[in-house]
Amino acid sequence: MSLFDYPFDGAMLLQKKRSLRRELLKKPNLTPKKVAILSGSTIGEIKNILELFLLDYGIAPEFYVGNYGLFYENLVFDDGSLADFKPDILYVHTSRKNLKNMPTTADTAQSAGEKLDAEWARFEAAFNAAKRFGCPVIVNSFDAPTHRVMGNRDAVDARGGVYFINEMNARLTTYVGKNEGFYLNDLAYLATRFGLDNWFSESEWYLYKYAVSMQYIPELCHNIANIIKSLLGKNKKGLVLDLDNTLWGGVIGEVGPEGIELSTETPGGMAYNEFQTYLKQLENMGILLNVASKNEPAAAESGFTRSDSPLKRDDFLCFKANWEPKSQSIAEIAKEINILPESLVFVDDNPAEREIVRQQLPGVAVAGFDGPEKMIAAIDRAGYFEITTLSADDAKRNEMYRQNLARAAEQQSFGSYEDYLKSLEMQGEFGSFTPPHAERITQLINKTNQFNLTTRRYTGPEVEALIEDKSAVTLYGRLADKFGDNGLVSAMIGHVHGDECEIELWIMSCRVFKRQMEHTMMDEFVRRCAAKGVRRIKGRYLPTAKNLLTKEIYGTMGFEKMSESETESVFALQVEQYVPQNTVIAVTAKE
């Protein structure tokens, strides 16, 4: 078990940070990222522990640390050093200790209101200034004050500290909601969860100017790291759930569906019922639910026929009820829905089953908890599914994977693969990037690892800038078929220099791989390049641990390999020699 698995021992992470860092830096395939931390109070240990969590997520941060307490000045009057650093992520570490215009009991209601406006204007100016770096900006909410001079009235009276901070948080969260590229690190929630008296230590503030007590710095950093890994497409995608004593109490093979604990009428049943309800909420956001249970299939499924069961059989994508080792069931599930095992989280009450999965499938996350009442917290607080953006496609994801399983079933009944593809009645829509697509394209770029030739990541503003860029050739592809709409599944970005176009990015969702979508994308890309007078197209393959399947793709499409090394292969295509490849997708070409 890793020291970073939730619930982690924060004190241990703090003490062992040096040896942990040494070990983590040996991990292969770390993604380098530039992280700027701007200071509202002491950063020191926050930087160190954030680095550990990011390394654990496969991200190697290079840090820029702003001057002590000068977040506002660094943002508004940057001396050029921050811009030169070119951050990929900006984190503004502020807290209530940075509120300079707190009202006092000497204020009138009117002057207190003016102070609130002035304070918010200061933060808004700092945040607006942060936009020019064109990277995601993570900002903190404000923790509640440790004392209330008016007692309970502090939350009601405009001169009260609690009132002031509540108002600031309302304005800040509204700002984050309205401004693309801004993300909330909900420090106020963490402070509430751990208790203000624990979260903030007067003596640590007086001695070292830590606005968060040392012992909670790991929790704070875990929260920030979750946002960053989510932005970089490193979220988990699905759950593999045990049934007996995980989704309900008791062994269904022995007591039958009526005998299991699931009713909201009993204390034990309530815990399972609420857990299922929580899972249903995850499913609504596109998290894939699967089952791996040691049971007879009929008995296993019977648990979901109860009218008081929040989850039904149809809520699950893959349902493995057998007597095989669960590591095997999980591996099969990953294969069937075509995602990497490391995108899955395993939930089982049995410590022995967890241990086997940890050993056999080290990439799979294993939820740690003891007792059904702790299951929701174990999943919720680990941040496996930290949501930074929610697109319409997310909500439909379960449905899309379900359609894919139906396609796989249909495939078996056709003589040739091409006949099968034709039977799908596929319709593709292809066009240059437009503003309505930008968010989905950015999301896809940053979470696609397998069909990704260069693994170059783009921020939202960078994608939007391409829309106006005359030298850029951009292409998105949507794919629908008789089973349903897959949505926007592929994107390409190239830049034209003279009569040559270089492909800087090509990604495609793996759920549509081998359906000639990749061929049709290339057909369209070449056509658009030719229209711009391009005579030669260059493509690169930059190997990672995950994108091996695209290694030779240019070679199979008429490109000639110019060079090959461990770090890069370069391919080139003469546009006039290109032969269109698609034979099965009906194409609608947009501008």
Partner 1 sequence: MTEQEIFDSVQEIFRTVFDDTDIVLTREMTSADIEDWDSLEQINLLVAIEKRFNIKFQLQDVKDLPDVGAMLDLVKRMVA
Binding site for partner 1 (CB under 8 A): 11, 14-16, 18-19, 22, 42, 44-45, 202-204, 206-208, 210, 214-215
Between the alpha carbon of residue 102 and those of residues 149, 160, 229, 505, the distances in Å are 12, 9, 35, 49
Rounded CA separation 202/367 (Å): 35
Instruction: Express the helix, strand and coil content of the chain in percent, nearest 5 each.
Output: 45, 20, 35
Residue 114 vs 197, nearer CB to partner 1: 197
CB neighbour list of residue 477: distance below 8 Å, 6 or more residues apart: 428, 429, 430, 488, 489, 490, 491, 508, 517, 520, 521, 524
CB of 21 to partner 1, least distance (A): 8
CB-based contact 575:543 (threshold 8 Å): no
Residue 208 vs 414, nearer CB to partner 1: 208
Residue 16 vs 422, nearer CB to partner 1: 16
Residue 203 vs 565, nearer CB to partner 1: 203
Residue 15 vs 284, nearer CB to partner 1: 15
Between the alpha carbon of residue 220 and those of residues 186, 215, 359, 550, the distances in Å are 9, 10, 29, 38
Helices (H), 285-396: 297-302, 326-337, 351-360, 375-380, 392-395
Residue 45 vs 88, nearer CB to partner 1: 45
CB of 45 to partner 1, least distance (A): 6
CB of 203 to partner 1, least distance (A): 4
CB of 546 to partner 1, least distance (A): 32
CB of 52 to partner 1, least distance (A): 13
Rounded CA separation 182/125 (Å): 14
Residue 13 vs 168, nearer CB to partner 1: 13
CB of 365 to partner 1, least distance (A): 27
Rounded CA separation 483/381 (Å): 36
Spatial CA neighbour of 331 closest among 340, 355, 402, 379: 340
Rounded CA separation 289/24 (Å): 31
- Residue 494 is which amino acid? G
CB-based contact 437:467 (threshold 8 Å): no
Residue 19 vs 307, nearer CB to partner 1: 19
Distance of CA 242 to the CA centre of its chain: 24
Rounded CA separation 525/557 (Å): 12
CB of 542 to partner 1, least distance (A): 34
Per the listing, tokens 């503030």 go with: 205
CB-based contact 557:522 (threshold 8 Å): yes
Residue 48 vs 450, nearer CB to partner 1: 48
CB of 99 to partner 1, least distance (A): 23
CB of 378 to partner 1, least distance (A): 24
